[in-house]
Amino acid sequence: MTDLATYSRTGPVGTIVMDEGKANVMSLAMLNALHAAFDQAEKDKTVVILKARGRHFSGGFDLNVFAKGSAEDQYLMLKAGAELALRILSFPTPVVAVCQGNAYPMGAFLIMSSDHRLAAEGNYLIGMNEVAIGLTVPRFAIEIARQRLTPTYFSRVVMTAEMFGPAEAVTAGFFDRVVPADALERSAEEVAGKLSTLDMAAHAATKARARGAVIKMIRGMIDEDITPQYGEDRIRSRVSA
C-alpha cells in the first residue's frame, strides 16, 4: 500500500483515502494502491468509507497513458480500473462513497459501484465524458452506469457526455443524497456506523442475489474486452490517426 491511497480502521469501519496531491488521477499506481487498501478492508471485514482529499474526488483514468503510453500500460491501467469497479460492486461488506469534488469517469464508476453514495454541496461535476474526448465507453462501464442511473439520464450521461452538479446528480442516480460540505465527514461516519450493524453474511448473500446477473455480465465483458490485444489495438488506432 502506498500513500496514494491509505487505509485506516476505527472499530468496524475502515476508511480508504485517495490523495495524490493533485486530481487523484486513476493511474496504475493509484489503482494498485486502492486494490491493496481494499485487500486490507476485506481481511478486516470492515464497512468501507471511500473518500478523497483535495479539490477532486478523481480526475478519472490517466489520459496521458491513453495518449502516449505503451500497449501494456494501457491494458494494465484499464484492467485494474475495471477490476476495482467490479470488486466494489460485489464487495462482501458495504462500501460508502464520499464525494467532495469533481468525479470524472473512473471516479464516477467507483461511486456508482458503491452501496451508499454521499455528495457534498459544491460547485463541481460528476459524469462520463469519454465521447467528448474521443474515447469509446467500455462495456463494463456502460453496465455499471445502467444499473445505477435512471433511464433518461443514462442516455445523457453515456452517449452525450453530459456532466452534472451534485444536486442533479442525485436525480440522475449518481448519488443517494447531498449534504452540506461541513457535514460530509460526519454523515459518512453515521452511515457507515449504521451499516456496520447489519448481518454481514446476510448482506453479502443478498448483494450477490441482487447484483448477481450484472456482476456475471461485467465479469464476462472484462475478460472478453480487456486483454493485451486491447492495448495493441489502441496503439494501432493512434498510429493510423
pLDDT tens-digit map of 150-192: 999 999 999 999 999 999 999 999 999 999 999 999 999 999 9
Residue 233 lies in a domain: no
Mind listing the pLDDT tens digit for each residue in 185-233?
A: 999 999 999 999 999 999 999 999 999 999 999 999 999 999 999 989 8
Residue 223 lies in a domain: no
Cell numbers 494501432: residue = 236
Residue 182 lies in a domain: yes
Grid cell at residue 195: 451499516
Tally the domains of the chain.
Answer: 1
Grid cell at residue 131: 465521447
Containing structural domain, residue 11? 5-195
Residue 214 lies in a domain: no
pLDDT higher than 90, residue 62: yes
Residue 217 lies in a domain: no
Residue 66 lies in a domain: yes
Residue 118 lies in a domain: yes
Residue 200 lies in a domain: no
Amino acid identity, position 77: M
Which CATH number is 170's domain given?
3.90.226.10
Task: Annotate 90-136 with three-state secondary structure.
Answer: CCCCCEEEEECCEECHHHHHHHHHCCEEEEECCCCCEECCHHHCCCC
